[in-house]
A = this chain, B = another copy of it.
Amino acid sequence: MTQAELKAKIEMQMSSLDANDWLLLVNNNQHADIVEELEQFSAEKTAALLIKLPNPELASLFGYFSPSYQDELLQAIDETEQLRLFKAMARDERVDVYQRLPEEEQKGILPKLAKQEQEDILQLASYADGTVGAVVTSAYVAIPENMTVIEALRYVRKNAAEMETIYQVYVVDKQQRLIGTMSLRELMTEKDDATVSEVMRTDLVSVSAEQPQQDAADAIRRYDLLSLPVTNGGNKLIGIVTVDDAMDVDVVESTEDFHKGGGTLALKDVSLREVSTWTMFAKRAPWLIILVFANMFSGGVIESYEDTILTYVALVFFLPLLVDSGGNAGAQASTLMVRALATGDLHLKDWLKTLGREFWVALLLGIAMAIAVYGLGVYRGGTDIALVVSISMVAVVFAGSMIGMSLPFLLSRLKLDPATASAPLITSIADFVGVLLYFYIAVTILGGSGA
């Protein structure tokens, strides 16, 4: 079915509300596609359709809505349906929804759930935003070490419906400590009567619930895992992170780094389709305003060379180019470094080697740009000006590149996020260094006096 056909069918359902037809439609189409269409309607209309569905389909569809639409849906259904939804949902999604509820409603709904569900929600809700704990699910297969392979397979089969994944099982001791793991594939190819503890893998990769989410995504990518066990301080298994959640983490974290690199503060969990004018302003203004204050210094430098400018006004023609060149070369270098540090391609210890190469790259870039600008310099200001502009270009591009390259390492060293080395920050620094170098070189070559 094409997306357009799906849309037409859903519209029909909106008016007919035939529970059987609707269930058939839901079972025969991708839930992500169905939700994309449902989100075009009001939450009330969508809710009327959703509550016609049995638990598994209800829970699965609900998980695909955007957080803000999920919240609207919850408000559009009555408490009985809210409870049914809460019981059916994937546990990692359930706790997210719960945490976004107003405190009053949290207190209303919690006591109505089963004790085990309450505990599950409260435990998962205790982890800070951005930590592994906030994407962990407790619906994983854990088996005791003394089970046989065939017993384990039967256990998996019996519990398959409730689990987030059954393709990796985790072996625990009596204290619920993680001691081994087996993939379903390994279980299926081992002898039926082997004891799990004899055939399990013990080269475990795990993360603790307090680590940043990116650590979990990195481990899953590095070791090609389908799920990653999550432990608390005492190596006690508390849940798993699945590869589909890890993919989402990768995208969210990359997006955050993108935004930071462009000089926008992190937009958490917000779609650009929905974000308000005011939020957008608040996230973008800070770095731009810092740029204005940085001008106190670079403007001051220019002022101190007022006489030079009045004598050689042609210098002004190249001023924007020179400060931009330093800023852009610096932004190139910092972008490369920030990304390489984020993906693990570079580490702190690579700083010196990378600096060594950047030295030559920056010099070559400066020389290439100096050659490119020389002709322009002669044309607009004569050979003297051309010489000043060309030498300044080498100096400015070189300085900008070295700063842009080193800043992310420095921030990383100080345990700060290297992505803070944003374009506006680099620009501000490059402006100041650029005008300083430019006018110093101008006065040296052309004569006259500066500050």
Hey, which bits of chain A sit against chain B, CB under 8 A?
A: 1, 28-30, 32, 156-157, 160-161, 166-167, 184-185, 188-189, 202-203, 205, 220-224, 226, 243-244, 246-248, 250-251, 254-255, 257-259, 261-264, 271-273, 275, 277, 280-281, 284-285, 287-289, 291-293, 295-296, 298-300, 302-303, 306, 309-310, 313-314, 316-321, 323-325, 327-329, 331-332, 334-340, 343, 345-346, 350, 353-354, 357, 360-361, 364-365, 368-369, 372-373, 376, 380, 397, 423-424, 427-428, 431, 434-435
Contacts and interface: CB of A to CB of B under 8 A. Distances in A.
Given A167-B167, A368-B289, A427-B324, A28 B203 contact: yes
Contacts of A247: 220-221, 243, 246-247, 250
Contacts of A431: 320-321, 324
B32 A339 contact: no
Contacts of A325: 288, 291-292
A118 to B, nearest CB: 27
Number of copies: 2
A259 B184 contact: no
Given A320-B434, A357-B280, A188 B160 contact: yes
A194 to B, nearest CB: 15
Contact of A277 (B188, B360, B424): B360
Contacts of A254: 250-251, 254, 258
A135 to B, nearest CB: 14
B339 A258 contact: yes
A223 B292 contact: no
A327 B289 contact: no
19 contacts: A160-B188, A166-B185, A166-B188, A221-B247, A226-B243, A243-B244, A247-B250, A262-B335, A289-B369, A291-B324, A295-B318, A298-B320, A299-B320, A316-B316, A320-B435, A323-B323, A323-B324, A324-B428, A328-B423
A336 B223 contact: no
Closest 9 CB pairs of A and B: A262-B335, A295-B321, A299-B317, A224-B244, A272-B340, A292-B372, A258-B339, A320-B323, A254-B254
